[in-house]
Amino acid sequence: MTKNGFLKEGNSIKVTLPEGHISEKWDNHKFSMKVVNPANKRKYTVIVVGTGLAGASAAASLAELGYNVKNFCIQDSPRRAHSIGAQGGINAAKNYQNDGDSIWRLFYDTVKGGDFRAREANVYRLAQTSVNIIDHCVAQGIPFAREYGGLLDNRSFGGALVSRTFYARGQTGQQLLLGAYSSLMRQVDTGKVELLPRREMLDLVIHDGIARGIVVRNLINGAIESHSGDAVVLATGGYGNVFYLSTNAINSNATAAWRCFKKGAYFANPCFTQIHPTCIPFSGEYQSKLTLMSESLRNDGRIWVPKKKGENRPSNEIPEEDRDYFLERKYPTFGNLVPRDVGSRNIKEVCDEERGVGDMGRAVYMDFADAIQRLGKDVIEDKYGNLFDLYEKITGEDAYQVPMRIYPAVHYTMGGLWVDYDLMSNVPGLFVLGEANFSDHGANRLGASALMQGLADGYFVIPYTIGNYLAGTKFDKVTADAPEFKDSEQLIRDFTQRLLSIKGKKTVREFHRELGQIVWDKVGMSRNEKGLKEAIEQIRDLREDYWKNVLVTGDAGTLNKYLEFAGRVADYFELAELMAIDALHRNESCGAHFREESQTSEGEALRNDTDYTYVAAWEYTSEGNPSILNKENLEFEYVKPSERVYK
CA-to-CA distance for 279 and 268, rounded, in angstroms? 27
Residue in 403, 426, 209 with CA at minimum distance from that of residue 298: 403
Rounded to 5 degrees, φ, ψ at 211 are -70, 125
Residue 256 belongs to what H/E stretch? Answer: helix 255-261
Locate all alpha helices (DSSP H) within 503-560, ordered by sequence: 508-522, 529-549
For residue 385, CA distances in Å to 223, 246, 281, 366, 392 come to 44, 23, 20, 15, 11
Edge-to-edge strand ranges of the sheet holding 224-228 = 199-207, 210-218, 224-228
The runs of H, that is alpha helices, within 49-91 are 53-65
CA neighbours closer than 13 Å in the CB half-sphere of residue 415: 31
Q: What element of type H or E holds 522?
A: helix 508-522
Q: In sequence order, which residues have a C-beta less than 8 Å from that of residue 219 and are 6 or more positions away?
A: 74, 198, 199, 200, 559, 564
CB atoms near residue 370 (< 10 Å): 11
**Separation between Cα atoms, residue 93 and residue 105, nearest integer Å:** 8
139 SS3 class: helix
Burial 603-614 (b: 16+ CB within 10 A, else e): ebbbbeeeebbb
Do 75 and 196 contact (CB within 8 A), yes or no?
Answer: no
The whole-angstrom separation of Cα 346 and Cα 352 is 10
Strand-strand pairing, 68-72 and 45-49:
parallel
| 340 catalytically annotated | yes
Q: Residues with Cβ < 8 Å from 396, sequence gap 6 or more? A: none
Residues 6+ apart with CB under 8 A from 189: none
Q: Assess contact for 211 and 409: CB atoms under 8 A.
A: no
Q: What is the CA radius of gyration of the chain?
A: 24
DSSP summary character for residue 645: -
Treating both helix axes as pointing N-terminal to C-terminal, what angle do 120-140 and 25-32 enclose, rounded to 10 degrees? Answer: 80
- Residues 438/615, Cβ–Cβ less than 8 Å: yes
Beta strand pairing call for 165-166 and 90-91: antiparallel
**Of 222, 226, 221, the residue nearest 204 (C-alpha):** 226
Measure the CA–CA gap between 563 and 549, rounded to whole angstroms.
14
Contact predicate 412/7, CB 8 Å: no
The neighbour count for residue 28, using CB atoms within 10 Å, is 13
Secondary structure of residue 145 in the 3-state scheme:
coil
626, 643 Cβ separation under 8 angstroms: no
> Which one of the listed residues 117, 169, 217, 340 is annotated catalytic?
340
- The gap from C-alpha 103 to its chain's centroid, in whole angstroms, comes to 23
Distance (Å) of CA 312 to CA 280, 308, 349, 360, 395: 20, 10, 19, 12, 19
Give CA–CA dist 631/430, Å, rounded: 20
575 in helix, strand or coil?
helix
Active-site residues: which are they? 340
